[in-house]
Amino acid sequence: MAKIDRLPLPDTIRFSYPQQTNPVSVTGTKCELNCAHCGGHYLKHMKPLADITSAGADNSASWLVSGGCQTDGAVPVAEHIARLAELKQNRRFNMHVGLVSAAVIEQVATVADCVSFDFVADNTTIREVFGNNRTVDDYIACYQALRQKVKVMPHICIGLKGGEISGEYHALELLRELGAETLTFIVFMPTRGTRFADRQPPNLLETACLLSHARLTFPHIPLHLGCMRPGGHYREELDKWAVRIGVDVIVNPAPAAVRLAEKLGLTLSRGEECCVL
């Protein structure tokens, strides 16, 4: 019988509980883009940059710096770079900047330890979710420009198109061609008050299959399951699948997934900052 080669899965897993990373919004609760899946809802849970009076007013180890987008899909970070540099001190910054220009990237690189970049690979999804005229080519170009100046952590939102898998496999193909040092997955969550409030999360089995495909496509880079994903039974089952698949990092894991990792004999470690830091 012919020998079957098996993918060597990681024998360690990190569970991240990012209480040492504070989310900071450069725009407060304002967002011009008003995306169908978010509608500015998640900005309400972030600390407005304008309310932070001094570096000593925040004792966190790191910041997740983000904010609402302009209609072109860019977070207006450029006008806040000097203030961020002043407040940074010894903490690290993971920044969400959206589709920014080369000139802004130059500025971002002076303060960012890494950039989390939402990578979207379907033009129909871009139109339906963001409502602007940006294209997949814009995401490719910005990703390439960012990688030349700063450490970039591409993010793929599974089911971004209102719970439908659409473009995620193409995103994996593109990132394999473009190169990636790590990859983070988040999962669409229906959110009250948004245009997608009545949708459902992506099918759990389809989500697990996509993660499995990612593990096979990228056998040698860390895969992360980020904090933005549905809760309850969905999260418990997805997190257990992620452990079996060989995902390297899970943020705020379901207790059942931690128990499964222990049962499988994995070496567990704990993180207390944003998973990409």
pLDDT tens, 209-252?
999 999 999 999 999 999 999 999 999 999 999 999 999 999 99
Asked whether the beta carbons of 43 and 25 are under 8 A apart, the reply is yes
**All domains in the chain, ordered by first residue:** 12-271 (3.20.20.70)
Asked if the model's pLDDT at residue 55 lies above 90, the reply is no
* DSSP-derived 3-state class of residue 177: helix
Asked if the model's pLDDT at residue 57 lies above 90, the reply is no
pLDDT of residue 10: 85
Asked if the model's pLDDT at residue 1 lies above 90, the reply is no
Asked whether the beta carbons of 200 and 47 are under 8 A apart, the reply is no
pLDDT tens column, 133-157? 999 999 999 999 999 999 999 999 9
| Burial class (CB within 10 angstroms; exposed 0-12, middle 13-18, buried 19+) of 117 | buried
Query: What Cα–Cα distance (Å) separates residue 58 from each residue in 22, 47, 71, 240?
Result: 9, 10, 31, 35
CA distance 77 to 96: 9
CA distance 112 to 245: 31
pLDDT of residue 2: 41
Residue closest to 182 by CA, chosen among 202, 161, 152: 152
Give me the chain's average pLDDT, please. Answer: 95
pTM of the model: 0.95
pLDDT band at residue 7 under the 50/70/90 scheme = low
pLDDT of residue 223: 98
Q: DSSP alpha helices (H): ranges in 21-100?
A: 81-88
Lowest mean pLDDT among 16-30, 45-59, 98-112: 45-59
| Largest separation between any pair of C-alpha atoms in the chain | 69
